[in-house]
Amino acid sequence: MPFFDFFFRFFKAFVTFPHLVIPFLLPIHILWTIDSFPVTILPVQDRNRRLTVKKNDELLLTADGLDSNQAGVCRHEGMVVFVPGLLPGETARVKIIKTEKRFAIGRMESPSESPAPFRRIPDCPAFPRCGGCSCRHMTYEATLEAKRLQVQNCFHQIAGLDLSVPVPSGMEDPTAYRNKTSLPVGGTADQPLIGFFASRSHAIIPVDRCPNAMPPAEEIIQAFLRWIRKKHIPPYQESGHCGILRHLVIRTNLRGESMVTVVGNAPSLPCAEDLVQALIPLKVVSLFFNSNREKSNVILSDSFHHIYGRNTLPVTLCGLRFELSPASFFQVNPIQTEKLYASVRSMANLKPDDTVCDVYCGVGTITLMLALHCRKVLGIEVVPPAVENAKRNAAFNGIQNADFLCGDAEKILPRLVSDGMKPDVIVVDPPRKGLAQAVIQAITQAAPDRLVYVSCNPATLARDVQLFYESGYSVNQVQPVDMFAWTSGVETVCLLSKRTAV
């Protein structure tokens, strides 16, 4: 009986909430390749095959593709082995370091004797130990092609759509692009460490300079380390939940001004005035302390204490001015964000009398940009400080045709649609998990002429696009944007419109 009860419940869930169940039926890894390598998913027989490799085995393996984290995909007697650092076409001696039920993970013991033509010498001494980047060993052009295939293959394998996806809009100079850097703090008061967590670990890899971060970060990090040593402020120790300093968060605008947030396991920041004096010469215009006393991997709590300078950091984007608080979500790559939003504006194709609903609007960047080209825009956001920032940003820019509602989109949007809201265009920019079923149902009920979907996760984008396709929408345009150079991340803008009846 338990089995039949489980089967019945699973079938009922599949029928009622397919968008939640389908991802669990998909393979663990969607595999995609560079150039002429075949696009493949682990077949059922491979997924159910008994492992033919054991931990500590050493094998000579050849990669025939890359997974979504840029690890090489190899096969041994029908079993899949993922090898970080190995590129398609390369052969290397690999040691098996971990085995799972359906796959294994290996480590390169020696470099390939025949390097791939798109392999390069990494330009960061912390790579690949640092978990921040996954593909600094590839040429930039190769990373763009890899991301293109990642998006295209997600549409093919998950949504069942054979779309021709263009190469992501890339950067002329893919360095020093991040306007926000979050660095864990460790070590001791005498020998503090600041850097990034190693991949799949909480071991801190010390980083003096991150090539992805805007230049002020390096000097701020060094000043912070000197302050720790001088004042003997103990870094946080995760194992014993003791010590104070947990993270250093640096946010910088294009004028070189920075907002610094120190995260600590304490009610207040000791020796704060000394830190202020150390940071002022570095164009730090704002200093906050975030008190995070929880045993958690979440970096920021809700408890912020203003120590010095401005309450917000001014930034300019798409000709508009925005004020960011320490908790504000804002795209980390300002140059590429301009390209991303240009795609959104182009796909929305607004007319002067159009109305727009911007779901998951954050601090109102897309909302206010679109407000310049239409009659009315409504932004929906669940984070209260972000909504307050959005309202202030509208006032800063003299925009009066944008309104904002604070609340969960799953609850607000269905209510608005039931009350008769029918915008001409809906824009969604959800978190990585994608859209909830209630949001999808509300959008299809509102039946906008155009739906612009901004996504940071190609897999959930494809899943949701499939549901919209089944509800009468077609994909008209897809444009990836390389927001996170040298990482596996890719942002994608997708235009859907209602299919006309034949």
pLDDT digits (tens, 9 = 90+) for 105-153: 999 999 898 999 999 999 999 999 998 999 999 999 999 999 999 999 9
Query: 108 and 121 in one domain?
Result: yes
Residue 200 belongs to some domain of the structure: yes
Cα gap 184→195, rounded to integer Å: 6
Contact between residue 297 and residue 291 where contact means Cβ atoms under 8 Å apart: no
**According to the model, what pLDDT value does residue 413 have?**
98
pTM value is 0.87
User: Final residue of a domain: which of 296, 317, 338?
Assistant: 317
Query: 306 and 327 in one domain?
Result: no
* Residues known to be catalytic: 456
Residue 202 belongs to some domain of the structure: yes
User: Final residue of a domain: which of 289, 317, 345?
Assistant: 317
Residue 422 belongs to some domain of the structure: yes
Cα gap 296→299, rounded to integer Å: 8
User: Final residue of a domain: which of 262, 286, 317?
Assistant: 317
Cα gap 481→461, rounded to integer Å: 14
Query: 347 and 264 in one domain?
Result: no
Query: 186 and 90 in one domain?
Result: no
- DSSP result, 161-190: ----PPPPB--SS-SS-BSEEEEEEEE-SS
Residue 63 belongs to some domain of the structure: yes
Q: Is 175 left (phi over 0), alpha (psi -120 to 50) or beta?
A: beta
The domain in which residue 89 lies consists of 28-159
Query: 422 and 293 in one domain?
Result: no
Query: 324 and 312 in one domain?
Result: no
Q: How many CA atoms lie within 13 A of 254 on its CB side?
A: 11
Sites in the chain below the pLDDT cut of 70:
1-51, 501-502
Query: 476 and 348 in one domain?
Result: yes
Neighbours of 423 (CB within 10 A): 23
Tell me, what CATH number does 470's domain have? 3.40.50.150
Query: 325 and 312 in one domain?
Result: no
Residue 473 belongs to some domain of the structure: yes
Residue 481 belongs to some domain of the structure: yes
**According to the model, what pLDDT value does residue 201 have?**
86
Tokens of 381: 């956001």
Length of the chain in terms of residues written: 502
Task: Provide the angle, in degrees to the nearest 10, between the axes of the packed helices 437-446 and 458-470.
Answer: 40
Tell me, what CATH number does 76's domain have? 2.40.50.140
Contact between residue 156 and residue 165 where contact means Cβ atoms under 8 Å apart: no
Query: 233 and 221 in one domain?
Result: yes
pLDDT digits (tens, 9 = 90+) for 231-259: 999 999 999 999 999 999 999 999 999 99
**According to the model, what pLDDT value does residue 341 have?**
98
Query: 235 and 291 in one domain?
Result: yes
Residue 167 belongs to some domain of the structure: no
3-class secondary-structure state, position 430: coil
**According to the model, what pLDDT value does residue 31 have?**
42
Q: Among candidates 185, 260, 264, 271, which has minimal Cα distance to 225?
A: 185
Contact between residue 103 and residue 41 where contact means Cβ atoms under 8 Å apart: no
**According to the model, what pLDDT value does residue 47 have?**
47
Long-range residue pairs from 370-373, CB within 8 A, at least 24 positions apart, any chain:
370/344, 370/345, 370/425, 370/427, 371/399, 371/401, 371/402, 372/399, 373/345, 373/348
Tokens of 116: 């791939």
Contact between residue 73 and residue 67 where contact means Cβ atoms under 8 Å apart: yes
Q: How many CA atoms lie within 13 A of 240 on its CB side?
A: 8
Whether the ω angle into residue 115 lies within 30 degrees of 0, i.e. cis, is no
Contact between residue 128 and residue 486 where contact means Cβ atoms under 8 Å apart: no
3-class secondary-structure state, position 344: helix
Cα gap 122→202, rounded to integer Å: 23
Cα gap 204→187, rounded to integer Å: 9
Beta strand pairing call for 450-455 and 473-481: unpaired
**According to the model, what pLDDT value does residue 51 have?**
61
Query: 401 and 473 in one domain?
Result: yes
Q: How many CA atoms lie within 13 A of 213 on its CB side?
A: 24
- DSSP result, 235-288: BPBTTTTB-SEEEEEEEE-TTS-EEEEEEESSSS-TTHHHHHHHHGGGTEEEEE
Tell me, what CATH number does 247's domain have? 2.40.50.1070
Dihedral, 9, 11, 14, 16 alpha carbons, nearest 10:
-70
Query: 277 and 399 in one domain?
Result: no
Cα gap 259→249, rounded to integer Å: 8
Helices H, strands E: what count in the chain? 12, 23
**According to the model, what pLDDT value does residue 499 have?**
85
Q: State the total domains in the chain.
A: 3
Residue 16 belongs to some domain of the structure: no
